[in-house]
């Protein structure tokens, strides 16, 4: 029974390293979305300021 408990503990502790890969991927995707949003926001905001300069 003790050996089964140790095996389960090792599996649980080892599985956290799999989560690291998922967290890194999610962080990278979030950074890509943030850069994409910033680019689109500056593109739209730049167009608004250019349109208002003529008035």
pTM for the whole thing? Answer: 0.60
CA atoms within 13 Å, Cβ hemisphere of 37: 6
pLDDT tens by residue, 17-44: 889 999 999 999 999 999 999 999 988 8
3-state helix, strand, coil in the chain (%, to 5): 95, 0, 5
Residue 2 pLDDT: 85
């Amino acid at each position: 029974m003790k050996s089964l408990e140790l095996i389960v503990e090792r599996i649980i502790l080892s599985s956290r390293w799999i989560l690291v890969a998922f967290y890194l991927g999610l962080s990278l995707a979030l950074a890509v979305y943030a850069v994409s949003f910033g680019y689109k926001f500056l593109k739209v905001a730049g167009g608004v300021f250019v349109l208002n300069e003529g008035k």
